[in-house]
Amino acid sequence: MLSIDNDVLAHVQMNTVLGYALVFVGGGLGAAARHAVNRAAAGLGGPGYPAGTLIVNVTGSLVMGLLAGWFASRGEMTTPEVRLFLTTGILGGFTTFSAFALDTTLLWQRHDWDAAVLYAAGSVALSVAGVVGGMLVSRQLVS
């Protein structure tokens, strides 16, 4: 029969509870920040255009790239809990690719095909560019 030390079991359970708590709190903070950006960007791009979602996705991708670059080069300086809080928690709550999909679909359903294609292509291309740019900047900062 397999035996697990009670201290090890308690540590694993605490890390699981702590991980969920970190994601919960970080996700709430990220979602609140996303709401603030959406409200601030409401007038950009005209009525019905999801400028806030575009800004959030590109900005979130840039920050994810910065963090990924930092963790890759200086990962020993951060704990797994900090990485979980920042990436899955805050950025997971902040970025909005499910909202992106809905916004694209709504533009398409309104027969605003040019806007839908431009929005979808721009979101993907600029978000990937944001991650690449963030990683490049992060590498320059830590070298």
Check whether 1 has a pLDDT greater than 70: no
Q: What is residue 7's predicted lDDT score, i.e. its pLDDT?
A: 58
Which residue ranges make up each domain of the chain?
6-142
Q: What are phi and psi of 39, to 5 degrees?
A: -65, -45
Q: What is the dihedral of CA 80, 83, 84, 85, to 10 degrees?
A: 120
User: What number is the average pLDDT over the span 31-42?
Assistant: 95
With cut-offs at 50, 70 and 90, classify the pLDDT of residue 8: low
CB-based contacts of 66, cutoff 8 Å, min separation 6: 134, 135, 137, 138
Check whether 48 has a pLDDT greater than 90: no
Give the pTM. Answer: 0.76
Check whether 57 has a pLDDT greater than 70: yes
Task: Report the alpha-carbon distance of residue 55 to residue 6 in Å, rounded.
Answer: 48
**% of residues, the chain, pLDDT over 90:** 65
Classify burial at 121, counting beta carbons within 10 Å of its beta carbon; exposed 0-12, middle 13-18, buried 19 or more: exposed
Place of tokens 């294609």: 117
With cut-offs at 50, 70 and 90, classify the pLDDT of residue 105: very high
With cut-offs at 50, 70 and 90, classify the pLDDT of residue 108: very high
Task: Report the alpha-carbon distance of residue 52 to residue 40 in Å, rounded.
Answer: 8
